[in-house]
Amino acid sequence: MTYKVVPLSKDNKEDLFRLFEENSYVHQREWKSCYCRFYHTSCTMHHWMSKSAESNKTEAIEAIDAQKMHGFLAYDQDRCIGWLNAGSILSYPRIHKSIIPEYLNDRVALTICYVVADDFIGKKVASALLDTAIETLKTKEFEMMMAIPVENPINEKSYRGFKQMYLNRGYIEEKVTSELSYFILKLR
């Protein structure tokens, strides 16, 4: 199946919101209210858990309009069926403590969250999103891309992508600790 994948913009942000609002998230209901803002924040977990869907959506609107939230949307015909949050690693303060300093710069892009419509899970939407992200980010000023997948026996909870998906595209696994690995793809 071939999907159309395009960068997130002011013009298609409503498609992203519709994807979040129409998905069931039976595996993790609170994700429905995230609007992919979690990694863009550095607030405490207690504060994060108290945030409403409305405030997260408002933050997403403001960030997209200000071109501070980036990523890609996948479409099957006119329906948005997938999302990949991808941009400069500096845009994701939630993970900065987990990143070694040499990678915390504006030349490193990060792919962090995939959301796929319930009825398209397992149909290569995430692969199409990642392939487009790689091709697009190669044309930007980034020197490398990073992913930090977390394998989970419940596939829907593997929202950062699967290790093999990255390895199949030439990413190299770099062990940081016994529990943490970065997956690095050199773009230059």
- How far apart (Å, rounded) are the C-alpha atoms in residues 25 and 8? 22
pLDDT per residue as tens digits for the range 99-126: 999 999 999 999 999 999 989 999 999 9
Angle, helices 53-65 vs 13-22, to 10°: value is: 160
Residues with Cβ within 8 Å of 73's Cβ and at least 6 positions away in sequence, in order, are: 5, 6, 7, 8, 12, 15, 16, 19, 80, 82, 83
Judged against a pLDDT cut of 80, whether residue 2 lies above it is answered with: yes
What does the H/E/C string look like for 42-68?
A: CCCHHHHHHCCHHHHHHHHHHHHHCCC
Burial 17-31 (b: 16+ CB within 10 A, else e): eebbeebeeeeeeeb
Average pLDDT over the chain, rounded to an integer: 92
**pLDDT band, very low/low/confident/very high, at 152 (cuts 50, 70, 90):** low
Q: What is the dihedral of CA 51, 104, 151, 81, to 10 degrees?
A: 60
In the DSSP assignment, the letter for residue 154 is S
How far, in Å, CA of 94 to CA of 48, rounded? 11
How confident is the model at residue 159, as a pLDDT?
A: 87
What pLDDT band is residue 13 in, cutting at 50, 70 and 90?
very high
Mean pLDDT across 88-105: 95
Structural domain of residue 142, as residue ranges?
4-186
Q: What is the CATH number of the domain that holds 52?
A: 3.40.630.30
- pTM, entire model: 0.94
Q: State the pLDDT at residue 167.
A: 96
Q: What is the mean pLDDT of residues 47-68?
A: 96
Averaged pLDDT for residues 23-41: 81
Domain count, the chain: 1
Worst-scoring range by mean pLDDT, 5-9, 31-35, 46-50?
31-35
pLDDT, mean of residues 118-143: 95
The answer, yes or no, to whether residue 62 has pLDDT greater than 70, is yes
Based on C-alpha coordinates, what's the Rg of the chain?
Answer: 16
